[in-house]
């Protein structure tokens, strides 16, 4: 089923009510301890699990669209329509008592993010967007991103271990940040990909780099950035998709400059 803008506005309104309800246990559970160990030193809290159950049940009941969540999976990502949920993005921050954590919800249509919602309950900010319409903060339409210079921009980056391997080894990430630090105003590490992307869409950050590949970290924020007039690709410059192994978001000219820096650093596999 193809969705028009009216359909999308209705779905975002329904989802907003559901995320507002989820914000209550989110705030109440701050500093929750780990409940489920995941790969490496990652974990989920009991609150992650409870919020995902609550939001999935409510969304599927209210909208009839399946949900793919970080903790329990669910509807396939390649479904014609699917919600993509991260119940707590920034779980380490959340468990430690930091306020930099969010609820992320994106809507994919044939693999393309068409709507995004990012709730920051501790700062009482709610970002929503439908691609092709303005980004909204707490219900107020925000201006489209203005042209910016990388030298004047704050750039958000993901956390890492310098000795880590994988698709983007730690030493490759250090090389990117080394070059970026010489050209941007400031680098910030919030520990939440969703917050970095939301702030990029809102014009708080000029750009953001994510070395991760999880679709639930990115789907909502990609919609927010694109709605605001920004660009989201992977670090090789290809349009971001649910199968991308990285994400680079930014105001178009800032995005282009960061992409040049990444290209000059070289191939990740060489590090």
Q: Six-digit token pair at 228?
A: 């605001």
pLDDT at position 1: 62
Both 201 and 135 in one domain: the answer is no
Co-location of 42 and 111 in the same domain: yes
Intervals of the chain under pLDDT 70: 1, 34-43
The token duo for 33 is: 């301890």
Q: Which of 75, 106, 141 is the last residue of a domain?
A: 141
How confident is the model over 118-139, as pLDDT tens digits? Answer: 999 999 999 999 999 999 999 9
Structural domain including 29 reads 5-141
- Residue 261 sits in a domain of what CATH number? 3.40.190.80
Assigned token pair, 65: 């669209």
- Which pLDDT score, from 0 to 100, does residue 214 have? 97
131 and 156 part of one domain: no
DSSP track, 212-267: ---HHHHHHHHHHHHHTT-EEE-TTSPBP-TT-S-EEEESHHHHHHHHHHHHHH--
Cα gap 240→207, rounded to integer Å? 15
Q: Is the dihedral of CA 27, 97, 170, 205 positive or negative?
A: positive
Position 131 scores a pLDDT of 97
Residue 129: its H or E element:
strand 125-130
Task: Please give the structure tokens belonging to residue 27.
Answer: 């705030």
CATH, residue 37? 3.30.540.10
- Here the tokens at position 17 are 């009510």
Same domain, 154 and 238: yes
183 shares a domain with 128: no
* Residue-level pLDDT at 38: 60
- Domain stop point among 99, 121, 141: 141
Number of separate domains in the chain: 2
């Amino acid at each position: 089923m193809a969705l028009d803008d009216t359909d999308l506005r209705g779905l975002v309104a329904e989802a907003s009510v559901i995320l507002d309800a989820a914000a209550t246990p989110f705030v109440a559970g701050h500093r929750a301890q780990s409940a489920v160990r995941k790969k490496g030193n990652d974990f989920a809290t009991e609150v992650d699990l409870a919020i995902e159950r609550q939001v999935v049940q409510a969304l599927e009941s209210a909208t009839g669209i399946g949900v793919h969540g970080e903790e329990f999976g669910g509807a396939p990502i390649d479904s014609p329509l699917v919600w993509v949920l991260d119940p707590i993005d920034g779980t380490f921050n959340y468990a430690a008592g930091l306020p930099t954590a969010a609820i992320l919800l994106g809507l994919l249509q044939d693999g393309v993010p068409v709507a995004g919602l990012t709730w920051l309950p501790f700062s009482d900010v709610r970002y929503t967007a439908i691609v092709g319409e303005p980004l909204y903060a707490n219900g107020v339409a925000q201006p489209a991103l203005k042209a910016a210079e990388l030298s004047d921009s704050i750039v958000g980056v993901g956390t890492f271990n310098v000795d880590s391997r994988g698709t983007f080894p730690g030493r490759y990430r250090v090389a990117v940040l080394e070059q970026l630090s010489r050209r941007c105003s400031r680098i910030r590490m919030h520990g939440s990909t969703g917050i970095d992307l939301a702030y990029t869409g809102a014009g708080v950050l000029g750009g953001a780099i994510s070395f991760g590949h999880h679709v639930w970290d990115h789907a909502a924020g990609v919609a927010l950035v694109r709605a605001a007039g920004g660009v989201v690709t992977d670090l090789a410059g290809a349009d971001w998709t649910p199968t991308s192994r990285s994400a680079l978001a930014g105001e178009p000219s800032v995005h282009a400059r960061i992409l040049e820096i990444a290209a000059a650093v070289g191939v990740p596999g060489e590090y």
